[in-house]
Amino acid sequence: MTELWKNQAFSIVHADKGEFVGQGLRAFFEYRDLGIADATQGKFGAHVIRAVPGMESPGAWHSHDLEFQMVYVTQGWVVFEYEGQGEHVLRSGSCVLQPPGIRHREVRHSDDLELIEITSPSTFDTRDESAP
């Protein structure tokens, strides 16, 4: 093992072998694990997240206890509202860095929404919050 490989494993995950499961943070989304949590011993996590057609977000305010969270939309659109930043429509090609602890909520999304989320660490706590 070279110095570059310390605390990480080589990992490849193919879409045709991936399975979406509904056991994630939000019931209106399905999640496909990209193998990053296992390969980095939990230091980072990455998922493809897609909307469950016909299900809507309750628009609940919340925050996450983590160090890094990035969202990149690959298909469809989603409206997020962020503490002190207002509502933002993210569409295919949009990327957002959500600072640690920022209160936010998912307001609505298209049935064909699909996005990639990268976090550090891979497992983190989520808190319900009041509106800012």
Exposure of 28 by Cβ count < 10 A (0-12 exposed, 13-18 middle, 19+ buried)?
A: middle
Instruction: Please tell me the pTM assigned to this model.
Output: 0.85
pLDDT of residue 97: 97
Which of 70, 96, 69, 93 is closest to 81 using CA atoms?
A: 96
Provide the number of structural domains found in the chain.
1
How many Å apart are CA 32 and CA 18, to the nearest integer? 6
Per-residue pLDDT of the chain (132 residues; tens, 9 = 90+): 455 577 888 888 888 766 776 655 566 789 999 999 999 999 999 999 999 888 787 889 999 999 999 999 999 999 999 999 999 999 999 999 999 999 999 999 999 999 999 999 999 999 999 998
In a domain, 14, yes or no: no
pLDDT of residue 7: 82
In a domain, 15, yes or no: no
Sign of CA dihedral 125, 108, 27, 34: negative
Domain region containing 75: 20-128
In a domain, 83, yes or no: yes
pLDDT of residue 74: 97
CATH of the domain at 75: 2.60.120.10
Distances in Å between the Cα of 72 and the Cα atoms of 22, 31, 40, 63, 109 are 20, 14, 20, 18, 14
